Amino acid sequence: MRLAGIGEGKIQSYAQFTYRIMEIIHELFAGKHADHMTNTGKHVNITNLTREDIDRIASAIVNRKGWSLSTITIALRTLKRLVHYAKHKEIAEGEGNYCEEVAHIKPDRYKRKAMREDKVRATDLLTREEFLKLIEAVPRISRYPARDRALLYVMSCLICVYSMIREEDNDY
């Protein structure tokens, strides 16, 4: 994969998620697509998986407890790459070049949802009273109260400046 222009971080991510996806595949299909028995159980042959099987795997990924939308995006992208490579022995280049079993899976849909979730709402921000209580609590809990209090003030100033810039951008 390194030769295909994929960075080291993505390769590590794909490796980690490939293991997780193989666990999901094993949970779902241990008996159905098994090639042979070993002393550790049945192995699933990914090349035998159908589009319906892939949809079941994708559904299991999307409904996985504790996974954020960003994690789901990475797992679905890994699933697409894994299945395509298993069936064609090549790395798919671009969105339109995946095999028919996985071409319909759109991981970026979950990425867009995650980006919408990450937006800060007015209710997420501290009120003036909450901020002052936080400043008052610093000497009781901090080893370096002067530094930490100054840091909180600087962060609040940066947030104010950022929000003013955003308001100016929205005026156009």
3-state secondary structure of 45: coil
Secondary structure (DSSP) of 53-109:
HHHHHHHHHHT-TT--HHHHHHHHHHHHHHHHHHHHSS---SGGGS-TTTTT--THH
Torsion of CA 11, 15, 16, 17, to 10 degrees: 100
Report pLDDT for 111.
65
Report pLDDT for 36.
42
Count of the separate structural domains present in the chain: 2
3-state secondary structure of 17: helix
**Domain shared by 31 and 103, yes or no:** yes
**Domain shared by 55 and 101, yes or no:** yes
**Domain shared by 113 and 139, yes or no:** no
Q: What's the token pair of residue 66?
A: 């504790």
**Domain shared by 113 and 128, yes or no:** no
| Amino acid occupying residue 133 | K
Q: Domain containing 154: what range?
A: 122-170
Q: What's the token pair of residue 45?
A: 């042959």
Strand partners, 38: 41
**Domain shared by 114 and 86, yes or no:** yes
**Domain shared by 33 and 50, yes or no:** yes
Q: Which residues of 18-48 are buried (b: 16+ CB within 10 A; e: fewer)?
A: bebbeebbeebbeeebbeeeeeeebebebee
- Contacts of residues 116-125 at CB distance under 8 Å and 24 or more positions apart, as own/partner, are 117/69, 125/159
Report pLDDT for 172.
42
**Domain shared by 109 and 56, yes or no:** yes
- pLDDT lower than 70: segments of the chain: 1-6, 30-42, 94-96, 110-124, 162-172
**Domain shared by 128 and 109, yes or no:** no
Q: What is the pTM of this model?
A: 0.57
Strand partners, 37: 42
**Domain shared by 105 and 91, yes or no:** yes
Tokens 């008052």 belong to 136
Q: Cα dist. 64→18, 20, 60, 71 in Å?
A: 15, 11, 6, 10
Strand partners, 127: none
**Domain shared by 106 and 154, yes or no:** no
Express each pLDDT in 26-47 by its tens digit.
888 765 554 443 334 467 788 8
